[in-house]
Amino acid sequence: MTITLHVQGMTCGHCKAAVTNALQELDGVKHVEVHLQEGTVDVDYDETKVSVEKLKEAIEEQGYDVK
């Protein structure tokens, strides 16, 4: 399953790396694509292993707001 999350506060390569790494550490996340210009993150994941709430929490723990 793929979801696009709208994330506020990402402005640079460090932001992109922080969000990507946080999501990839979750069991069930297959692929992460961060789009800084659009402020979005595309996540390909196994919904039987990880919930959307867990994805959002991982991003929020890095200091970003998920809408």
CATH class of 2-66: alpha beta
Handedness of CA 43, 47, 51, 54 (dihedral sign): negative
With contact defined as beta carbons under 8 Å apart, do 20 and 29 qualify?
no
CA atoms within 13 A on the CB side of 27: 2
What pTM was estimated for this model as a whole?
0.95
Identify the CA nearest to 19 among candidates 3, 2, 39, 1.
39
pLDDT tens for 15-56 read 999 999 999 999 999 999 999 999 999 999 999 999 999 999
Cα(56)–Cα(7) distance, integer angstroms? 9
The stretch 51-62 carries a mean pLDDT of 98
- Ranges of each domain in the chain: 2-66
